Amino acid sequence: MRVLGIETSCDETGVAVYDTDRGLLAHALFSQIALHAEYGGVVPELASRDHVRKLLPLVREVLAEAGLAPADLDGVAYTAGPGLVGALMVGAAAGRALAWALDLPAVGVHHMEGHLLAPLLEDPGLAPPFVALLVSGGHTQLVEVAAVGDYRLLGETLDDAAGEAFDKTAKMMGLPYPGGPELARLAESGRPGVFTFSRPMTDRPGLDFSFSGLKTQVLLAWQGSDQAPQTRADIARGFEDAVVETLAIKCQRALDATGARTLVVAGGVGANTRLRERLQTLVVGGTSVPKRSGAGVPPTARVCFPRPAFCTDNGAMIAFAGALRLQAGQHEAAVVTVTPRWDMASLSAVGGTSVPTRSNRD
Ligand code: KG4
Ligand code: ZN
């Protein structure tokens, strides 16, 4: 089954074709970074208009790269939420219209389910059950994944998302939009331990997060500093270390609490190199249980990330998640609806469908 995937929930137009037998056939992305940079953040109306401009050329480009005609498609998947309502409407209207014209089934995909399943796109050995850490610009969640579509929220942020904290902190220190990757780049030349910030909510049990206080701590440190280039890098390093360590501590707790042996990481912050390195040191077997002397070193957990391009928003994850649902016979009536706020726990299970095995992959 060949599925066209369309992602337009925020500031990237992403399109891909996923084949349930052959894997990902083609994908393309247009980022609106330059468009929003002068405003220091995403301007929803500009985002919607740019999706209108870029979407159909990208669909043509992806079909050409896959060597397919529109009639070769078997289904259409588009992001139906959560996201910016105008931006979502562009993808939903185009996806529905294409499906209507080509007489194909179409399915609206939950953006975070797309992120959550992205690591499965290119890893044939990976399947639920696992714990997922979703870290994007709008979400920070730990989710227990029993099966595709069966999600239990273990913990989430009570205020800012991890990506949002990166972006706001970067902006505060005068870095250009989008701040997260810029701040991570700056942190590379920062010295560890020169500035130490707290690891929020790690001093008490539980799997929830809070990043807004950390942002304020960094603001105070920045305002009270000489603001020299090396100081800026040192503060960036201190901030990044605090976020990475906090996420790692909570991931370890989630593995301990669920007994899961695999952690899947997805969403834009999953592209962060230091986070990727740190999470590789997580273990299975319960670090919270004191080890008897001589019990040996606990085995490391399996930690899976999509390649960085599939951590951030992209069409491939939507084509993939949509293909699983379409393959299970799920699709919706030809009505264009989007859900800008959408609880992932309300999704239906993909009953009995296992992740397809694929012979050829890109
Ligand atoms: O998943 P995503 O592309 O979009 C949303 O669904 O939100 O995530 C974007 C977020 C932004 O906050 C961005 O600053 C952050 O991911 N991000 C990073 C890095 N790359 C992207 N944060 C830290 N380090 C990075 N390398
Ligand atoms: Zn996203």
Name the DSSP letter for residue 318: H
Atom of ligand 1 nearest to the CA of 162: 12
* More confident: 235 or 359: 235
Q: Name the token pair of 186.
A: 């700056």
Q: Give the mean pLDDT of 210-219.
A: 95
* 201 CB burial (10 A radius; 0-12, 13-18, 19+): buried
Report pLDDT for 354. 60
Q: Are the C-beta atoms of residues 29 and 315 closer than 8 Å to each other?
A: yes
Report pLDDT for 312. 93
User: Nearest CA to 110 among 357, 362, 328, 317?
Assistant: 317
326 is in an annotated binding site: no
Q: Where are the domains of the chain?
A: 2-117+312-346, 127-305
Q: Are the C-beta atoms of residues 356 and 19 closer than 8 Å to each other?
A: no
Report pLDDT for 357. 53
User: Nearest CA to 351 among 80, 146, 189?
Assistant: 146
- CA 2/CA 55 separation, integer angstroms: 19
Count CB neighbours of 45 within 10 A.
10
pLDDT band at 256 (very low <50, low <70, confident <90, very high): very high
Report pLDDT for 361. 41
Share of the chain above pLDDT 70, in %: 94
Where does 2-117+312-346 sit in CATH, by number?
3.30.420.40
Mutate to test the pocket of ligand 1, among 166, 173, 277 (most ligand atoms within 8 A of CB): 166
Q: Which residues contact 324 (CB under 8 A, 6 or more apart)?
A: 117, 148, 350, 353, 355, 356
CA 272 to ligand 1 center in whole angstroms: 8
Q: Cα separations (Å) of 91 from 97, 233, 287? A: 10, 39, 45
Query: What is the tens place of the pLDDT at every residue in 257-304?
Result: 999 999 999 999 999 999 999 999 999 976 544 445 556 778 999 999
Domain topology for 127-305 = Nucleotidyltransferase; domain 5 (3.30.420)
27 is in an annotated binding site: no
Count CB neighbours of 357 within 10 A.
9
Ligand 1 neighbours (beta carbon < 6 A): 10, 136-138, 163-164, 166-167, 178-181, 184, 267-269, 271-272, 312-313
Residue 190 CA neighbour count, 13 Å, CB half: 24
172, containing H or E segment: helix 162-172
CA 289 to ligand 1 center in whole angstroms: 34
- CA 186/CA 232 separation, integer angstroms: 8
Q: Which residues contact 255 (CB under 8 A, 6 or more apart)?
A: 131, 261, 263, 282, 283, 284, 301
Lookup result for tokens 């975070």: 112
Sign of CA dihedral 213, 216, 222, 224: negative
CA 88 to ligand 2 center in whole angstroms: 12
Buried-state track 114-124, b at ≥16 Cβ within 10 A, e below 16: bbbbbbbbbee
Q: Matching CATH topology for 2-117+312-346 and 127-305?
A: yes
Single-letter amino acid code for the residue at 153? L
Q: How far apart are the first and last CA of the chain?
A: 17
Atom of ligand 1 nearest to the CA of 266: 1
Share of the chain above pLDDT 90, in %: 85
pLDDT band at 315 (very low <50, low <70, confident <90, very high): very high
Report pLDDT for 362. 40
Average pLDDT, the chain: 93
- CA 190/CA 74 separation, integer angstroms: 50
Query: What is the tens place of the pLDDT at every residue in 102-122?
Result: 999 999 999 999 999 999 998
Q: Name the token pair of 107.
A: 């399915």
CA 47 to ligand 2 center in whole angstroms: 15
